[in-house]
Amino acid sequence: MVMKNRKEFAKCLLFVLAFSLPTLSWGTDLRSQMLANPCLSCHGPDKQSAGSIPPVVGMSAENIQSALLDFKNDKRMGTVMNRIAKGYTDEEIAALANFFTR
């Protein structure tokens, strides 16, 4: 593809940014959404469980992250959460903590 001049280049760049940025952010969003979706079944689609399961709403990202890491490393004893947290890498746990507090 031939760029005739700077103006053309700028136009092209704008176009690329306009469409690729939202696309990229959608992709990133969908990745976090994918990881977090199964959590919502118990902890509530609005992060607030309808029943007795502890809600995530109101917790800070740091608290969620450290709780999940502690469950994963058996430093905090729960019922199912120790078994579930072990299924995620530390990076994924950080992404989940961000997702739940955005």
Partner 1 sequence: MIKRRRFLQYSALAGLSANPGFGLFNSAMAAGGSARIVIIGGGFGGATCARYLAQLNPGIHITLVDRAEKFVTCPFSNAVIGGLHDISYITHSFDKLRQDFNIKVVNGEVRNIDPAGKKVILKKGKSLEYDRLVISPGVDFKWNAIEGYDRKAAQQLPHAWHGGPQTQLLRQQLLAMKDGGVVIIAPPNNPFRCPPGPYERASLVANYLKQHKPKSKIVILDAKDKFSKQALFQDAWDKLYGEMIEWVPGSQGGTVTRVDVKNKTVFAGGDKHQGAVINIIPPQQAGGITHTAGLADDSGWCPVNQRTFASTRQQDIYIVGDACIAGKMPKSGYAANSQAKVCAVQITASLQGLEEIEPSWVNTCYSLVAPDYGISVAAVYRHSSEGIIGVDGAGGVGPRHAEPQVRSMEAVYAEGWYKAIVKDIWG
Please tell me whether residue 83 binds partner 1 under the rule CB under 8 A: yes
> Which spans in 4-89 are helix H?
6-43, 61-72, 81-85
Nearer to partner 1, 43 or 65 (CB): 43
> Which is nearest to 64 in space by CA: 90, 96, 38?
96
Of the candidate residues 5, 7, 27, 91, the single one contacting partner 1 (CB under 8 A): 27
- Count of residues of this chain found to bind partner 1 when the rule CB under 8 A is applied: 38
Do the beta carbons of residue 42 and residue 49 sit within 8 Å? yes
DSSP at 73: T
Task: Give me the least distance between CB of 92 and partner 1, in Å please.
Answer: 8
**Binding residues for partner 1 restricted to 34-63, rule: CB under 8 A:** 34-35, 37-45, 49-53
> CA–CA separation, 32 vs 67, rounded Å?
18
Tokens standing for residue 9: 């280049």
Nearer to partner 1, 20 or 60 (CB): 20
Please give the residue ranges that form the binding site for partner 1 (CB under 8 A): 1, 11-12, 15-16, 19-20, 22-23, 26-27, 30-31, 33-35, 37-45, 49-53, 79-80, 83-88
